[in-house]
Amino acid sequence: MISNTENNESVPVFLDIDEDELKQVIYGLPIDPRSNRIMLTSMKDKEQEKWVLPKCEVESHENQEPEVHREVYEQAGVRGQIVGLVGSFYECGKKGKPKSHIKIYELQIDELFKKWPDKKRRERRWFSYQEVLELLANKPYLIESLQQTCFANSTVIDRPIKPTPPPPTSTKPKDEKKAKRFFRKVVG
């Protein structure tokens, strides 16, 4: 176990992970540093519209940057430069064993297209940093990644937001346990 000095929580370290056996999921976090905004796209979930970051599952854990560019273009109709990896997490199954590796890439947008592949299925919209914190509040790993972007040291942030860890799985009702996922940050 490694201790997280910020909140004194123990974070497990996975030493025997075979990345080729894990599902690889990548997110693009499109930002416009000139206007201090972040782009999200709409997605229907059980007849309810919600705002999400562009994401996809990829085959390989090697050289994911071209996939990030492709997904952000297809889902949001924007292109830009990848600034860096702002988050890397393992999604764990019921027994605490990693089942997927999630990476979040920050992109600074320099092109906005009027037409894009998913335009008929998805709406896109620019949001302020604070609005995105509220819209993605149920995804602590995305909030933590957002706090690693160029906005982290900006005056755009009105108040510090600390992601809350998910509740212990033993206190969740059985149906909710299936729906929720527990994410552990990659250490190292």
141-151 pLDDT, tens per residue?
899 998 888 87
Q: How confident is the model at residue 60 (pLDDT cuts 50, 70, 90)?
A: confident
- Average pLDDT of 60-82? 90
Position 106 confidence tier, pLDDT thresholds 50, 70, 90: very high
Distance of CA 75 to the CA centre of its chain: 15
Instruction: Quote the mean pLDDT of the chain.
Output: 76
Using the CB atoms, write b or e for 27-54: b if 16+ within 10 Å: bbbbbbeeebbbbbbbbeeeeeeebbbb
Q: With a cut of 50, say whether residue 165 has pLDDT above it.
A: no
Shortest CA distance to 113 belongs to which of 124, 128, 104? 124
Helices (runs of H) and strands (runs of E) counted in the chain:
4, 10
Is 153 within 8 Å of 61 (Cβ atoms)? Answer: no
Scan for tokens 């050289």, then name that residue. 63
Tokens linked to 67: 């996939």
Q: Closest by alpha carbon to 80, among 107, 98, 56?
A: 107
By mean pLDDT, which of 16-25, 94-103, 129-138, 153-162 is the weakest? 153-162
Q: Which of 18-22, 32-36, 73-77, 153-157 has the lowest mean pLDDT?
A: 153-157
Topology annotation, domain 2-185: Nucleoside Triphosphate Pyrophosphohydrolase (3.90.79)
How confident is the model over 69-95, as a mean pLDDT?
92
pLDDT for residue 94 = 83
Query: Which pLDDT score is estimated for 153?
Result: 60
Provide the token pair at 158. Answer: 């009105």
Distance, in Å, from the CA atom of 10 to the CA atom of 76, rounded to the nearest integer, reads 37
Mean pLDDT value across residues 78-100 = 89
Find out whether 157 and 151 touch, Cβ atoms under 8 Å: yes
Q: Is the dihedral of CA 27, 114, 123, 32 positive or negative?
A: positive
pLDDT of the residue at 152: 67
State phi, psi for 20 to the nearest 5 degrees.
-70, -20
Give dist(CA 107, CA 110) in Å, integer: 9
CA 6 to chain CA centroid, nearest Å: 21
User: If 0-12 CB within 10 Å is exposed, 13-18 middle and 19+ buried, where does residue 55 land?
Assistant: buried
Query: Phi and psi dihedrals of 130, rounded to 5?
Result: -65, -40
Whether the pLDDT of residue 169 is over 60: the answer is no
Predicted confidence at residue 9, as pLDDT, reads 46
Is the pLDDT confidence value at 179 over 90? no
Share of the chain above pLDDT 70, in %: 69
> What amino acid is encoded at 148 in this protein?
Q
